[in-house]
Structure 1
Amino acid sequence: MDAHAPHNGSADGEPLLTIGEFAARARLSPKALRLYDRLGLLTPAYVDGFTGYRHYRPAQVEDARTVVLLRRLGMPLADIAATVRLDGEGAGQAVAAYWAGVEERHAEQRTLVGYLRGRLSGRGCEMYEKDFEIKTVDVPEQYVICESRHLLAEELPVWIGASTQRLEEAAERECGGIAAPAFVVYHSEVTQDSDGPAEACVPVRDAEAARAWAQRAGRERGTGFRVEPAHRLAYTRITKAQVSYPQIIGAFDAVEAWVAREGLRVAGACREIYFVEWDAAGPQDQVCDVAFPVTAAAEAAGTA
């Protein structure tokens, strides 16, 4: 904005339009133009220092229409402000990246709609059970180093990757090496409204070294060491694509329904066990076991 330009033209002699004239050409209201100015989306070429009247260059009509189109695309105002500051190629890439994110969210929402329709109609487990093969496995006692955190669902993917990487590096460096795949235990629901906690765990080979590591680490990031007792897991193996919400909820539901049908009891917190390198896996590669510790109903009754 050139505060010293004459009100009837810019510093280079280009004629300027009043806000009313510009609003008519851009097919926007003066109120919208004032909002766009306030948000930094479309700055006037000149503002009269005495009257406060805004004036625009004719070439800015195209900029105004671009802002309108981005608004119709549903782009948040902050993203529009960042986009219009970029050059042509960069702005085009920003729009493409924004829309890729929209399509990804829409794909997740379509899947969620299908899941909710089945769940609300009483067919949720039936719809998903056919997609998952349920097995059991006996897991021996394990020594694990762990990191616990209260967090919401949107924070979970980044935290799982970062926390397991930290623990795996500590296991290799200070705890005798990694003894089994990393896993994440959900001690309570992690959703948009419920913050767990979740616990990332890496089994290690040297228990004494792991205890010493945990003592040195103190309570940083909720780190610690514990013994995971021997247990039986009921689990289903899922692909990288199925880890996305809500497919993974369908996997948990399918395992729970199978456990009940088989006359077993859930004996601990549900978990995800990651057995391949995440970044190297493709969408259809199997990457994770969704699992519940289980026990026979008679055993559960005997310990009650």
Structure 2
Amino acid sequence: MPHARDVSDSLLRPGEFLRRTRLSAKALRLYAEQGLLLPDTVDPSSGYRGYAAGQVERARLIAALRRAGMPLARVRDVVDLDPPQRRAAVARWWTGVEGDVRRRRVLVDALTAEPTEEEHVYEVSLREVPEATVLTAERRLTVDELDGFIAGASDEIAAHLARSGAAPAGPLRVVYHGMVTEDGDGPVEVVQPFTGRVDPAGELRIRLQRAGREAVTCLSRGQAEFPGILGAYDAVGAWVDAQGLERAGSPAEVYLSDRDVDPDRPHVEVAWPVA
């Protein structure tokens, strides 16, 4: 919080601070509202704000991070780090940005490509799903957090089962209870059927997966590469509608193999519960 004392002549008035930092008044207000760049002092009688000369460098750093496209929430986590930690944090963030750009490029290529006659045909079938006890982790998140959450939750579930002396009893599922995009936050649930005795721990929960039926199609690792997997969701949904069935739950990806499997080998199933 800014100090409630008279503004000293050694401090910078807002106008001078803006000239030195090359910030706009709008940006300065925004950074203040976000708690990123508060005035060093506020005159208790006049309300005039004063900025310390040392805050100029901080303002320039915030502005540089924003020009690079870093979200304000991430800037807040980065700006107060020691220089070596800050450099590492910025590098990690940028690696994620580049990965996101590559995924967007693939999607844009698919959206702008001319249609071809060689459209992939998905084989969809109906199967029974037995009742199972499952260990799950669920979270609301956006697309840039998705891969990290799935990997982390999968590892945490596997480690907890091992510590408990329990064992997986089927493939891992990732259930999408809602769309995950830059605007949609799911939630997403990582689900592992198991046998043995396990207690809940941290964010891990135990629930009963009821028996039922689901429409399913299987994809090789190559077919499952984004955005190809989106076509599988469309195909399963269209098949369910064509069969006069009712979608009775959230769709899931059922992982049959690791990502390093041969591109032509079965890798993931897209499944949709039906009634």
* TM-score with structure 2 setting the length: 0.62
Give per-residue Cα distances to partners, 1:238-280, cap 9 Å, x unaligned.
Answer: 16xx7564242245668999x9xxxxx899987644234x5xx
Q: Is the 8 A contact 2:253 2:268 kept in 1?
A: yes
Looking at structure 2, the residues matched to 8 and 227 of structure 1 have their Cα atoms a distance apart, in angstroms, of: 75
CA distance in 2, matches of 1:173, 1:282: 27
CA distance in 2, matches of 1:266, 1:115: 30
Whether the aligned pair in 2 keeps the contact of 1:274 and 1:287 (CA below 8 Å) is: no
Aligned pair 1:64/2:53, yes or no?
no
Q: Which residue of 2 aligns with 1:290?
A: 269
- The residue aligned with 1:191 is 179
Are residue 8 (structure 1) and residue 9 (structure 2) matched?
yes
Distance 2:140 2:76 in 1: 28
Q: 2:118 aligns with which of 112, 115, 126?
A: 126
Q: Match for 2:161 among 165, 169, 175? A: 169
SS of aligned partner of 2:173: strand
Aligned to 1:182: 171
Residue of structure 2 in register with 1:20 after alignment = 15
Find the aligned partners of 2:9 and 2:229 in 1 and give their Cα distance.
63
Structure of higher CA gyration radius: 1
Report how many residues are paired.
255
What's the CA shift for 1:48? Answer: 2.0
Deviation of the 1:178 alpha carbon: 5.0
Work out the CA distance in 1 between the residues paired with 2:75 and 2:14: 21
Q: Given the alignment of the two structures, is residue 224 of structure 1 paired with residue 208 of structure 2, yes or no? A: yes
Q: Could you tell me how far apart the structure 1 residues matched to 2:27 and 2:191 are?
A: 49
- Cα displacement (A) at 1:41: 1.7
**SS where residue 36 of structure 1 aligns?**
helix
> Are the aligned partners of 2:137 and 2:153 in contact in 1 as well (CA < 8 Å)?
no
After superposition, what is the alpha-carbon deviation per residue over 1:38-78, rounded to whole angstroms, capped at 9, x for unaligned? 32222333322222212223333222222211111222222
For residue 235 of structure 1, what is the aligned residue in structure 2? 218
Alignment of 1:135-174 (within 5 A): 144-146=132-134, 154=142, 158=149, 162=153, 165=157, 169=161, 173=165
Structure number with the higher helix fraction is 1
| 2:83 maps to 1:88 | yes
Give the secondary-structure state (helix, strand or coil) at the position aligned to 1:91. helix
Query: Post-superposition shift, 1:202?
Result: 3.5
Corresponding residue of 2:29: 34
CA RMSD of the aligned region, Å? 5.1
- The match for 1:46 is 41
| Corresponding residue SS for 2:221 | strand
